[in-house]
Amino acid sequence: MAGAILAVNKPVGPTSHDITHRIKKLLKLPKVGHGGTLDPFASGVLIVVTGSCTKLMSYLSHSHKQYRATLRLGTRTETADTEGQVVETQPVPTLSPQLLEQLSRELTGTVTLQVPAYSAVKIGGKKAYEYARRGESVEMPTRTTTLHSLRLWQEKPDGIEIDVDVSGGTYIRALGEEIARRLGTVGHLCMLQRTRCCGISVQECVSLTDFDPDTPWQHWSIPPARVLADHDMYTADAAVITHLRQGRPLDMSALSRLQKGDLQDNPTAVILDESQNVISIIDVRKNRVLRNI
């Protein structure tokens, strides 16, 4: 595979696109993307893909993600984080550890959250934040997501600390607003860190200052199979791989099951060769190859 996957510890400030642009320029790589956007005010794990590995971008977004956040109670902002203007204030009730534990249990599992107005979700052919920046009000859609685990605790009277493991596509800003609403007030996130993504922890990431243009980019590369570990995986021998690359129909009986992934109701799976290199992404329900890598 003529490409690489890099795990970067994104700092607060730059956009995810800023990070990929810097890496592209620094390491002189022709094609660079990422596997899941982090807002400018957020930090933590950003999976960067280069070369042919950019073909995997859409499949990385399905991965479980873990976050640590601080929710400031009593003030709501237009962006649900520190980037926007305060648009509402409310008193902050007295909270108990028992109440927060109860709320954690209530929210764990499937939950429906309203997509933030400042987001890239398309509405009428335009991104939602384009309407918001012009002061235009539009009805925002909701999104059903899964909270695999949630822990809430309090360190300050007007703040809630959040540790959460979520399915792909979850807006943590929306979760923060929902937590505040259920506590009888309003709130916004004042800190957000992605602590884990695609099986990579923030402790394993490199910072932008670690990248040295004199060091080959392969030095920081992560095996593609590792960041796809949430998916079902199969192995195939050389003959089957040749057939796949020739565009022949997929024969599931010719594959050997390697592992069952953690993603629920996910039809996509990964085919590896005998050296654990990613060969193809397949749809096991439709019994077809989605993409050869």
In order, the DSSP letters of 9-77 are EEPSSS-HHHHHHHHHHHHT-S-EEESS---TT-EEEEEEEEEGGGGGHHHHTTS-EEEEEEEEETEEE
What is the phi/psi pair of residue 222, to 5°?
Answer: -110, 140
> Phi/psi of residue 240, each to 5°?
-65, -40
CA–CA distance from 66 to each of 24, 32, 167, 202 (Å)? 26, 24, 9, 10
- Annotated active-site residue 39? The verdict is yes
Residue 231 DSSP one-character state: S
| Helix, strand and coil percent figures for the chain, each rounded to 5 | 25, 35, 40
Cα(282)–Cα(269) distance, rounded to whole angstroms? 5
Q: Taking a C-beta distance cutoff of 8 angstroms, is the pair 71, 179 a contact?
A: yes
**Residue 130: burial class (beta carbons within 10 Å; 0-12, 13-18, 19+):** middle
Q: Return the structure tokens found at 218.
A: 């392969």
Among 39, 81, 230, 232, the one annotated catalytic: 39
State the first-to-last Cα distance of the chain, in angstroms, to the nearest integer: 7
- Tell me how many helices (H) and strands (E) the chain has: 7, 18
Size of the chain in residues: 293
Active site residues: 39
